[in-house]
Structure 1
Amino acid sequence: MKRVPSRFFSLVLLLAPFYSWSSEWQFNGFVGQGYIAADDTQLVVGEGDTSFNITEAAFAVSWKPIEHIRIASALSYRQWGSLAEGDVNFDYLFIEYSHQVAEGMLGIRGGLFKNETGFYSSTRNVPFTRPSIMLPQSIYSDYFRDAQLHIEGVDLFGMHQIWDGAVDWHVSVGKVDVTEDLDRNVMGSAKLGSFDSERYYSTDIEFQNDYLRLGLTYFDAEVSYLPSMEDYYPGDIRLKKWVFSGQFRYMNFEFTAEYMTGDRLINGLAFPPMADELVDSGIGYYLDLRAYLPHEVELFVRFDKHIDDKDDTDGKEYEAVTGLPAYFAYTDDWTFGARWFLNNDWLLAAEYHWVEGASWVTPIVAPDPSTQSQHWSMFALQISYRFQW
């Protein structure tokens, strides 16, 4: 269990002075178990065609010892087939100060917290608050999850009533919290070396009312790489991305679209360092149409597209330079899914992915055409239970 002991004792020391005058506690959590079957790929399932190693769980605590001060923490467990080995870590651990200002609120938090990229980044760990079992990989890639999700630093935030809705905003500075999952998913094995965080900063603003939701995010995340094997080189990966988000709700229908653009800058890693950085100007977007039916049933269809380099949309230049098939430079993913809230505490979800391309199939630096086809598919099933008191 990585990093839990030191942060656990830090939390105990932090809470101790307030214990005698505690005023408000909240406890909640969830557990989810899934199953994935895949054809013509080893993504998630590894060398087999199926995997039951799709397990998520979390237990969260929020405490307001005095007015304006909140302390929050969550321990989470996540095993996601070959993408994430089962481990217990802090999902967040922070102290927060907030104060009402006119008809809004301003606040600041410090510690370990979630980033706010797009609509679903900060809530992607919880089956009940994300729109599907697997999020659109063009925006919320599972392979690079560690370099974007958990931030150790400071977050300045606010909420303001405006027109007939509210505006939320965040300005965050810190470092990303990486694990060995990033080493395996990018390089192919943790034995080849390790990644470490260099810096992270982002700005996010979002408007929402009863029928409309709009968002804009910019983030700059950098991780460095230290090799432990020959033929690999020290280096770094830096993402500088913009995310534009929109959602419209009408009667029992909901349409969501998000678009990401920006640069991925790479130095070193699996090739000798060059005088100039290798820069890919990639794009990604998805279109999601959802219907809310009686008996708490949701049906959705989604098209998700990712291109590593917008100047090489069909991957031909990638193939000429690397010798690898062109389909490793792009991905088109059609997803058909359903979610059923059996009651307030239970959720059953199922989805089918029909995919062409493999730009987000691991390992990213050394993809293997012998185990990854151009056309492939995946079926996912998950049941989840949540609790609160």
Structure 2
Amino acid sequence: MIRCKLYPSIKRVGQARKWFGILACCGFAASISNVTAHGLDNPPQWHGFANQGFSYTTENNFLGESSEGSFKFLEAGLNASWRALNTLQISGQLLYRQTGNAPPDGVEVDYAIADWRVLDTFDYGFGVRAGRIKNPYGFFNETRDVAATRPSILLPESIYIDYLRELMHSSDSVGLYGHSELAGGTATFYAVFGRPILYDTTIPAIIYTQTQGSLEDEAIYSARVGYEDGSGIWRVAVSVADFRADYLAADTEPLFDGKSHITQFLFSAEGYWQNFRLTGEYQRRLIRTENVYFPGLTLKNKGDGYYLQLSYDFNVHFSAYVRWDRIYLNNQDKKGVLYEARTQEPAHFTYAKDITWGARYAINTNWLVGAEYHRVDGTYWLPDLENRSAEAQSSRWDMYLLQVSYRF
């Protein structure tokens, strides 16, 4: 399997989806303005957040030129929600992100949703959502941009890998959701089907090689089934995500038109005991690439990722945590020996083993500060946009992160 190399281009794949988001946002804003102008009894609710981070690495680069110190870790969002009817809620969010050396793509529509609660009682409920929807996957995918809802400054890269964020985070789709109150707790279900929001920088990560080709007929399905104990002491979930697309090779490269198919299965569990919280997730990723490297050739790959994080709350303001995080491109070649022999690229491209120590302090309900230290062995999730030379990459490296966050 060839490791992905990311190009610096950030042009949107599929301008139609960009205009979909813009029109959805304009319609949402117009609705909000109309409601405000008429002074209805149920005005829209506005909220927002801003996160500014700093990264420093002893070797390699992550989130900018971090070997010299980088502030290229900025997230800011403004969202609003309005209950138009007792059974209909409209919500949306504008988001600005700069992560590393990739130039920011301006303010974008992060989500824009019409949510119709078809049935809603104490014992069970069912609803339909349509628009630009955040995909249900794991515990943290839908809230990954808000610092206060993340378990750490940087989410576990084994599961929530940054260079696949656009693929997994949201889609222009239709979703179904529901819940049922059982004797001991609450069971939930959420599924969406639609088209993912992709950039040119995401395509090499999907095809797993350098390419200036394009994708068409992209489709993604994502679903999660969960259960939470009635006392709130523990919760579990099982998620699945399935992505399919046709690949069109560029005329200037030695690749061929083909197909890409990525399926991910994720098991999540979390438990509380006194001031301790233990969170873990395990993922199996299946990758199938047809005809891309040679007509009639199908490549299959099976990789694993998992983490375990232990947190302790000293009081309502201060908490600390430690995390063990692992990801492997191929679970039959965890040390990358076969990969190195086949591709002549470093074995450490195929894995990353990260031990993280961190602490957070909530000054009040609005302000949050955090610090994190990562000891990493491997470069699987390093972006090549900031690490152009494979020979210059070090397999063992340290990373320090600081972040200040504000929300209202």
Tell me the TM-score normalized by structure 2.
0.86
Worse-matched range after superposition: 33-42 or 242-251: 33-42
Aligned equivalent of 2:77, options 58, 71, 76: 58
Aligned twin of 2:163:
143
Report the Cα offset of residue 228 of structure 1.
4.3
Q: Residue 188 of structure 1 contacts residue 362 of structure 1 at CA under 8 Å; is this kept in 2? A: no
Q: Secondary structure at the match of 1:328?
A: helix
Q: Residue 310 of structure 2 contacts residue 322 of structure 2 at CA under 8 Å; is this kept in 1? A: yes
Aligned equivalent of 2:194, options 156, 174, 178: 174
Q: Secondary structure at the match of 2:149?
A: coil
Aligned twin of 1:251:
274
- Counterparts in 2 of 1:55 and 1:356: CA distance versus 1, 3 Å: same
In the alignment, structure 1 residue 294 sits paired with structure 2 residue 294: no
Q: Residue 83 of structure 1 contacts residue 142 of structure 1 at CA under 8 Å; is this kept in 2? A: no
- Counterparts in 2 of 1:264 and 1:247: CA distance versus 1, 3 Å: same
Aligned twin of 1:280:
301
- Counterparts in 2 of 1:12 and 1:341: CA distance versus 1, 3 Å: closer
Aligned equivalent of 1:323, options 341, 344, 347: 344
Q: Residue 188 of structure 1 contacts residue 363 of structure 1 at CA under 8 Å; is this kept in 2? A: no
Q: Residue 353 of structure 2 contacts residue 376 of structure 2 at CA under 8 Å; is this kept in 1? A: yes
Q: Residue 83 of structure 1 contacts residue 181 of structure 1 at CA under 8 Å; is this kept in 2? A: no
Q: What fraction of aligned residue pairs are identical, expressed as a percent?
A: 29
Aligned twin of 2:240:
218
- Counterparts in 2 of 1:215 and 1:311: CA distance versus 1, 3 Å: same
Worse-matched range after superposition: 40-49 or 85-94: 40-49
Unaligned runs of 5+ residues in structure 2 are 1-11, 13-17
Aligned twin of 2:131:
111
Aligned twin of 1:347:
368
Report the Cα offset of residue 221 of structure 1.
1.4
Amino acid at match of 2:120: Q
Partner Cα distance (1:150, 1:315) in 2: 32
- RMSD across aligned C-alpha pairs, in angstroms? 2.7
Report the Cα offset of residue 241 of structure 1.
1.2
- Counterparts in 2 of 1:85 and 1:227: CA distance versus 1, 3 Å: farther
Q: Residue 57 of structure 2 contacts residue 66 of structure 2 at CA under 8 Å; is this kept in 1? A: no
Partner Cα distance (1:6, 1:386) in 2: 26
Question: Which has the larger strand fraction?
Answer: 1
Q: Secondary structure at the match of 1:321?
A: helix
* 1:342-373: CA deviation from partner (whole Å, max 9, x where unpaired): 11100001111111111222239x97422321
Partner Cα distance (1:360, 1:232) in 2: 25
Partner Cα distance (2:402, 2:140) in 1: 20
- Counterparts in 2 of 1:84 and 1:212: CA distance versus 1, 3 Å: farther
Aligned twin of 2:52:
33
In the alignment, structure 1 residue 133 sits paired with structure 2 residue 153: yes
* 1:269-300: CA deviation from partner (whole Å, max 9, x where unpaired): 6xx33423211100110010100112511100
Q: Secondary structure at the match of 1:134?
A: coil
Report the Cα offset of residue 16 of structure 1.
8.3
* 1:18-72: CA deviation from partner (whole Å, max 9, x where unpaired): 7756734211010111111112212322485321111110000101111100001
Partner Cα distance (2:43, 2:144) in 1: 26
Aligned twin of 2:62:
43
Aligned twin of 1:371:
392
* 1:291-345: CA deviation from partner (whole Å, max 9, x where unpaired): 0112511100001000111111111111111111111111101111111111110
Unaligned runs of 5+ residues in structure 1 are none
Partner Cα distance (2:300, 2:155) in 1: 26
Q: Residue 207 of structure 2 contacts residue 260 of structure 2 at CA under 8 Å; is this kept in 1? A: no
Aligned twin of 1:239:
262
Q: Secondary structure at the match of 2:70?
A: strand
* 1:130-185: CA deviation from partner (whole Å, max 9, x where unpaired): 11111111110101111111111111001222233222211211111112442576
Q: Residue 147 of structure 1 contacts residue 223 of structure 1 at CA under 8 Å; is this kept in 2? A: no
Q: Residue 329 of structure 2 contacts residue 351 of structure 2 at CA under 8 Å; is this kept in 1? A: yes
Report the Cα offset of residue 186 of structure 1.
6.5
Amino acid at match of 2:198: V
- Counterparts in 2 of 1:235 and 1:113: CA distance versus 1, 3 Å: same
Amino acid at match of 1:253: F
Amino acid at match of 1:242: F
Partner Cα distance (2:251, 2:173) in 1: 32
Q: Residue 192 of structure 1 contacts residue 229 of structure 1 at CA under 8 Å; is this kept in 2? A: no
Worse-matched range after superposition: 288-297 or 228-237: 228-237
Q: Residue 319 of structure 1 contacts residue 325 of structure 1 at CA under 8 Å; is this kept in 2? A: yes
- Counterparts in 2 of 1:201 and 1:189: CA distance versus 1, 3 Å: closer
Amino acid at match of 1:306: I
- Counterparts in 2 of 1:331 and 1:48: CA distance versus 1, 3 Å: closer
Aligned twin of 2:9:
none
Aligned twin of 2:407:
386
- Counterparts in 2 of 1:196 and 1:359: CA distance versus 1, 3 Å: farther
Q: Secondary structure at the match of 2:25?
A: helix
Partner Cα distance (1:108, 1:386) in 2: 29
Q: Residue 204 of structure 1 contacts residue 216 of structure 1 at CA under 8 Å; is this kept in 2? A: yes
Worse-matched range after superposition: 124-133 or 159-168: 159-168
Q: Residue 202 of structure 1 contacts residue 217 of structure 1 at CA under 8 Å; is this kept in 2? A: yes
Aligned equivalent of 1:11, options 16, 22, 28: 28
- Counterparts in 2 of 1:126 and 1:351: CA distance versus 1, 3 Å: same
Q: Residue 309 of structure 2 contacts residue 324 of structure 2 at CA under 8 Å; is this kept in 1? A: yes
Partner Cα distance (1:120, 1:237) in 2: 26
Partner Cα distance (1:190, 1:357) in 2: 20
